[in-house]
């Protein structure tokens, strides 16, 4: 599978995650979100940027429980809860947000 | 940790005895640990024999074109996995010291390691 | 003969057996987990230092770096990259792999 961003074809797996993490750009994230009828707000970007930093540091995409806790620590309890994160990413914060952030699917996520 | 409908919390010990990269055991173990963290059990990790090499600082895998998974051990704390044990004799036989490891560990001797193994409900060997 | 060893000396006895079977003019190249045999201060250091008095011993630097062992290599063991590996294979009349 693939997506097309600014005329460039970018390879993804069958679930839409990037085949090569280095292909990621903000435009790629926007294009993926558009396909899900999602308009990326500042709040979305906060989570996406957090995920990208987390991956750089630990070389894995965090499980949703770990993500929620870590977001709470960094951005406060208003944002570090499932309700907030599921409202932003209705397909599942770990799954959907990791996809937009160009990360692999979280380990153990089915 | 509390009991839930799923039953009582069990003590799980993951035993790591293989060096990283030469075989797939170390990475497989780490992935199983991360996945099983979702089940809220009482998890410990033991590093002995060549397994102590898994958590050595300063790994740079770019030249062999393999993913460096050593930073992931530092993520375990966020998964509430904080009991990491290194066998003293294994460490010393490889010229390693506690400060050579990428994560905080508890160094215990062989007798204490045997005790730790004996006290578990479930042991997973890698 | 160039002898390659790809197992850790504390995992298998490939290195020990290799060193025992070395003939004059042979060299050893440590690769993959075999590079753990190139380290100072380990249970196998003495054995390797003895062999080093008679035979050249090499270790593959990409494998050393991957394992974070760059500051622990025994003095006298020469580090080679992949091109160096090829050069050694060409230089010696044969290659024997100890698995």
How do residues A49-66 score in pLDDT, each as one tens digit? 999 999 999 999 998 889
Distance CA B126, CA C17 (A): 26
Chain A neighbours among B 78-117 (CB < 8 Å)?
78-79
- Nearest CA to A97 among A59, A28, A51? A51
- Average of per-residue pLDDT across B106-110: 98
- On the question of pLDDT at C18 being above 80, the answer is yes
> Between chain A and chain B, how many beta carbons pairs sit less than 8 Å apart?
35
Q: What's the CATH code of the domain at B72?
A: 3.40.1260.10
CATH of A2-100, picked from 1.10.510.10, 3.40.50.1100, 3.30.930.10, 1.10.10.370, is: 1.10.10.370
Distance CA B84, CA B82 (A): 6
Nearest CA in chain B to A110: B35
- Average of per-residue pLDDT across B66-79: 96
Residue B97: the pLDDT is 98
Does the beta carbon of B31 lie under 8 angstroms from any beta carbon of chain A? yes
Distance CA B22, CA C87 (A): 23
The residue with tokens 């079977």 is C21
| Residue B2 resides in a domain | no
- Beta-sheet pairing, C57-60 with C27-30: parallel
Range of the domain at C39: 2-98
C-alpha distance from residue B33 to each of A5, B21, B42, B43 (Å): 37, 18, 11, 8
Task: Please report how many Cα atoms fall inside a 13 Å half-sphere around the Cα of residue B76, on the Cβ side.
Answer: 25
Q: Is B63 helix (H, G, I), strand (E, B) or coil?
A: helix
Phi and psi angles of residue A72, each rounded to the nearest 5 degrees, phi first: -60, -40
* Least confident interval from A2-11, B14-23, C8-17, C22-31: A2-11
Does the beta carbon of A110 lie under 8 angstroms from any beta carbon of chain B? no
Which of B23, B63, B99 should we substitute to test contact with C (largest number of C Cβ atoms within 10 Å)? B63
Does the beta carbon of A63 lie under 8 angstroms from any beta carbon of chain B? yes
Residue B4: the pLDDT is 53
Q: What is the count of structural domains for chain B?
A: 1
Residue A108: the pLDDT is 62
- On the question of pLDDT at B6 being above 80, the answer is no
Residue A105: the pLDDT is 83
Distance CA C31, CA A58 (A): 27
Element (H, E) at B14: strand B11-16
| Residue B4 resides in a domain | no
| Residue B87 resides in a domain | yes
Element (H, E) at B25: helix B25-36
- Beta-sheet pairing, A2-5 with A8-11: antiparallel
- Nearest CA to C36 among A79, B23, B43, A44? B23
- The number of angstroms, rounded, from the C-alpha of B61 to the middle of its chain's C-alpha atoms is 20
Residue A1: the pLDDT is 86
- Sequence-ordered list of residues with C-beta below 8 angstroms from that of A28, at least 6 positions apart, any chain: A3, A5, A10, A18, A102
Nearest CA in chain B to C68: B59
Task: Summarize pLDDT for A84-107 with one digit per residue, the tens.
Answer: 999 999 998 878 999 999 998 887
- Residue B18 and residue B51 in contact, taking contact as beta carbons nearer than 8 Å: yes
Does the beta carbon of B68 lie under 8 angstroms from any beta carbon of chain A? yes
Contact B60 C66 (CB under 8 A): yes
| Residue B6 resides in a domain | no
Q: What's the CATH code of the domain at C87?
A: 3.40.1260.10
Other CB atoms within 10 Å distance of the CB of residue B63: 15
Among the partner-chain residues A59, A70, A108, the one whose CB lies closest to the CB of B68 is: A59
Contact A108 B79 (CB under 8 A): no
Please tell me the pTM assigned to this model.
0.92
Distance CA C21, CA C96 (A): 11
Chain B residues closer than 8 Å to A60 by CB: 34, 72, 75
Nearest CA in chain B to A70: B78
Which of B16, B17, B20, B22 should we substitute to test contact with C (largest number of C Cβ atoms within 10 Å)? B22
Distance CA C10, CA C6 (A): 12
Q: What is the count of structural domains for chain C?
A: 1
3-state secondary structure C31-72: CHHHHHHHECCCCCHHHHHHHHCCCCEEEEHHHHHHCCCCCC
Contact B49 C10 (CB under 8 A): yes
Residue C43 pLDDT level (bands cut at 50, 70, 90): very high
Across chain A, mean pLDDT equals 91
Range of the domain at B70: 11-125
**Angle between the N-to-C axes of helices A64-75 and A42-58, in degrees from 0 to 180, rounded to the nearest 10:** 110
Phi and psi angles of residue C53, each rounded to the nearest 5 degrees, phi first: -70, -25
Chains touching B (at least 3 CB pairs under 8 A) are: A, C
Radius of gyration of chain B (CA): 15
- Residue A42 and residue A30 in contact, taking contact as beta carbons nearer than 8 Å: no
């Amino acid at each position: 599978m693939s997506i097309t961003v600014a005329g460039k074809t970018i390879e993804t797996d069958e679930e839409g995650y990037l085949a090569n993490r280095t292909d990621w750009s903000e435009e790629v994230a926007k294009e993926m979100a558009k396909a899900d009828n999602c308009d990326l707000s500042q709040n979305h970007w906060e989570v996406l940027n957090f995920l990208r930093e987390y991956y750089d540091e630990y070389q894995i995409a965090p499980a949703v429980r770990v993500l929620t806790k870590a977001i709470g620590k960094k951005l406060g309890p208003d944002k570090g809860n499932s309700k907030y994160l599921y409202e932003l990413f209705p397909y599942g914060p770990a799954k959907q947000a990791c996809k937009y952030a160009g990360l692999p699917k979280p380990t153990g996520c089915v | 940790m509390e009991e839930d409908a799923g039953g009582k919390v069990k003590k799980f010990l993951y035993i790591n005895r293989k060096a990283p990269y030469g075989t797939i055991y170390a990475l497989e173990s780490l992935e199983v640990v991360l996945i099983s963290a979702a089940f809220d059990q009482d998890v410990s990790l033991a590093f002995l024999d060549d397994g102590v090499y898994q958590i050595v600082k300063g790994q740079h895998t770019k030249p062999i074109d393999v993913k460096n998974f050593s930073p992931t051990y530092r993520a375990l704390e966020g998964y509430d996995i904080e009991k990491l044990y290194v066998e003293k004799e294994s460490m010393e036989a490889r010229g390693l010291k506690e400060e050579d490891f990428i994560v905080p560990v508890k160094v215990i001797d062989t007798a204490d390691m045997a005790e730790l193994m004996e006290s578990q409900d479930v042991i997973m060997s890698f | 003969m160039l002898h390659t060893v790809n197992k850790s000396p504390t995992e298998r006895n490939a290195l020990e057996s290799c060193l025992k079977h070395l003939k004059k003019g042979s060299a050893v190249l440590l690769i993959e987990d075999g590079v753990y045999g190139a380290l100072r201060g380990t249970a196998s250091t003495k054995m390797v230092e003895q062999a080093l008095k008679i035979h050249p011993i090499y270790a593959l630097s990409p494998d050393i770096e991957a394992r974070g062992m760059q500051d622990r290599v025994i003095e006298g063991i020469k580090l080679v990259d992949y091109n160096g590996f090829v050069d050694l294979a060409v230089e010696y009349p044969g290659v024997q792999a100890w698995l």
